Chain A
Amino acid sequence: MDFGPYLFLATLEGLVQAAVLCLTALGLSLVFGVMRVVNVAHGEFYMLGAVLAWWITGWFINHPAVGFLLALVLGPALVGVIAWICERFILRRIEYDPEATIVATIGILYILQQSALLTFGPDARPVDTPFYFRVEFPWFGYSGYKLLVIAAAACLLSVAWFVITRTRIGLIMRATQFDRETAQTFGISVNKVYALVFAAGAAFAAVAAVLIVPIQQAHYLMGGDPLLLSFIVVIIGGLGSLRGTLVAALLIGLSDGIISVFFSPTLAKMVSTLLVALVLVFRPQGLFGVRNRL
């Protein structure tokens, strides 16, 4: 294969990565932006989404598409409920103190991950693709499902963007993000907003996982990489800025996909992690210059 088509293939792979990363990082960014807390357990909500997808599609062995659609709705909803429980009974009780929240979410991380190990087991398990369809390019055939992932992520992101910028719920969320106390004096129930945002953030991670799980596999340790990548995206994009998050996710997902096709993935990860840590030290407002809220 020539370099051109090869690069095209790498770009497609990168786009799939970027689509999933956008959704995952958006969840983390939303929680950080509105609640000002870092959710270290975010990757585990992603993992739960994948594991639930495996479980739900298992009911419909003969109709993978039905099972998948159900998983796409039910999985994130269940993860949202679990996140809501964590928010209600743990984070609210420690009053969202930034450091205590990190420690608490590390605890939640272990609880979720190890519970998955107990119930789901230590093996990686595949989930059937809902449909088989190959898009024939002149140089190679490409999985139609992967293209669907990109499209679905784009749709979901547009909906999220619309809700946040154009609806009353979004307005209330932004008001809470901007000034919690003033929002409260205007009769906004900050507790309800926080609970909703935390659940929605987790659900975004779960949606991303359900979408990607037919391509990868479900495994109880799969939450680590998306967590680190989401951190990177949120930091590069400027903490708490949604637009920055999307741009950075596209950038990182694409370059990660392309670089790991051409270079050693360990080296790519090493260099990008180091660069990001330095961005956080020397340019804490992120590369896109949004005001620092940390």
Chain B
Amino acid sequence: MNTDSMSKSIGLHAAVILVLFLLQFVLPEYHHLSVTRIMLLAVFAMGFNLLFGYSGLLSLGHAMFFASGMYGAGLAAYHLSWSVPVSFFFGIGCGFLLSLVLGAIALRTTGVAFMIVTLMFSQVAYLVIVYFTTYTRGDEGLVMPEAARSFGFLGREFLLTDPMTRYNLALILLALSMLIVILLVRGRFGRSLVAIRENESRTRMLGFNTYAIKLKALTASGTISASAGAAYALMFAYIGSSFATIQYSIDPLLYTLLGGAGTVLGPVLGTFLMFYLIDIASEYTTAYLLVAGIILVLLVLFFPRGLLGTLKEKWIRWLP
């Protein structure tokens, strides 16, 4: 990677963040809220893509990582009355532990078995949430208490009921995740991930401990996804078991495939497009998921690399 393409790529990502920052001053109320949600879901998709796009491991259970962050943060704030920042980091911690432990087990399998195992673990996580309905209120969910709607940080008071605050906090999380993902994938670690994706046995033969590398990738991926879940719970003041369903494992896959797996901005673009496509479709019909199905099939058939993946392959080679 030469310095020229490095600076171009930093410029591009900084421009994306800047555009998102400026957007908040012109967006009408409804879209303002939508974009806040999209940015958090984009963080989730970026976490997913770190594993799927770079190391080639397709997890069908990322909803459990999202939900671990969401429930870690939400339950701490609700039952233990912990402050917002502490709950947030506790949620991330839960995601880190869960992805480390389950990753260590699930990564003993490869290929199709890995997908089924992650799918099943995620289903168990969902059932656990439903089963302990005394604490989680299952499907009905919990609404965060008034005390968890604001927090003091560095001597300033932040109100989570204020849309501007939410928007900018989501933007900060997006920017940070983007930075972390870029640093991870551009370095030696990212190249070893791609090596595993392209040919795992050769990578192992070259002396890499592929299991350890994959576990690191899965843990980082799960932790980033959990941070999105934790932020989602605290910002929108609601946690519910629907966020742990298979639907939420498929969504990041859909976003990533649409935008382009194995590119940093792909999942962000994919989340934006898909969110609005579904939003528009749901105005016309209750069967809006039909759109998701058709797009998945079309992507697999005609654009297996997604939008940015195709761009990267054909024209913009320096895209990270």
Task: Describe A's contact surface by its main secondary structure.
Answer: helix
Verify B292–A110 contact, CB threshold 8 A.
yes
Q: How many residues on B have C-beta within 8 angstroms of the other chain's C-beta atoms?
A: 40
The distance in angstroms between the C-alpha atoms of A278 and B253, with both chains bound, is 24
Instruction: Find out whether the CB atom of A270 lies under 8 angstroms from the CB atom of B127.
Output: yes
Q: A240 to nearest B CB, angstroms?
A: 11
Q: What CA separation (Å) do A51 and B171 show in the bound complex?
A: 46
Give which listed residue, A104, A108, A270, contacts B124 with CB less than 8 A: A270
Whether B301 and A106, one on each chain, are in contact in the complex, defined by CB atoms closer than 8 angstroms, is: no
Shortest Cβ gap from A251 to chain B (Å): 18
For the complex, give the distance between the alpha carbons of A26 and B49 in Å.
Answer: 34
B117 and A280 form a contact (CB under 8 A): yes
Q: Is A168 an interface residue (CB 8 A)?
A: no
**Which of B105-113, B159-167, B187-195, B217-225 has 4 or more CB atoms under 8 Å from chain A?**
B105-113
Residues of B within 8 A of A224 (CB): 246
| B residues less than 8 Å from A113 (CB atoms) | 289, 293
Residue of A nearest to B257 (CB): A103
Q: Which of A1-9, A74-82, A94-102, A189-197 contacts B (4 or more CB under 8 A)?
A: A94-102
Which residue from A93, A102, A109, A294 sits with its C-beta under 8 Å from B58?
Answer: A102
- For residue B290, CB closer than 8 A to chain A, the reply is yes
Task: Verify if A111 is at the interface (C-beta below 8 Å from B).
Answer: yes
Give the Cβ gap from A102 to chain B, nearest Cβ, in Å.
6
Interface residues as binary, B56-80 with A (CB distance below 8 Å gives 1, 0 otherwise) = 0010100000000000000000000
Q: Which of B119-174 contact A (CB under 8 A)?
A: 120-121, 123-124, 127-128, 130-131
By a CB distance below 8 angstroms, the chain B residues around A289 are none
Chain B CB within 10 A, most for which of A104, A118, A228: A104
CB distance from B134 to the nearest CB of A (A): 13
One of A100, A117, A264 near B287 (C-beta < 8 A): A117
Q: Which residues of B contact A111 (CB under 8 A)?
A: 290, 293-294, 297
Residues 28-51 of chain B, each 1 if its beta carbon lies under 8 Å from chain A, else 0: 000000000000000000000000
**A interface list, Cβ under 8 A from B:** 38, 90, 93-94, 98-100, 102-104, 106-115, 117-118, 122, 224, 228, 231, 235, 264, 266-267, 269-270, 273-274, 276-278, 280-282, 284, 294
> What are 30 of the A-B contact pairs (CB < 8 Å)?
A38-B116, A90-B301, A94-B300, A98-B111, A98-B112, A99-B115, A100-B300, A107-B295, A107-B296, A109-B293, A110-B296, A113-B289, A113-B293, A114-B287, A114-B290, A118-B290, A224-B246, A228-B123, A266-B127, A270-B124, A270-B131, A273-B123, A277-B117, A277-B121, A278-B105, A280-B113, A280-B120, A284-B109, A284-B113, A294-B111
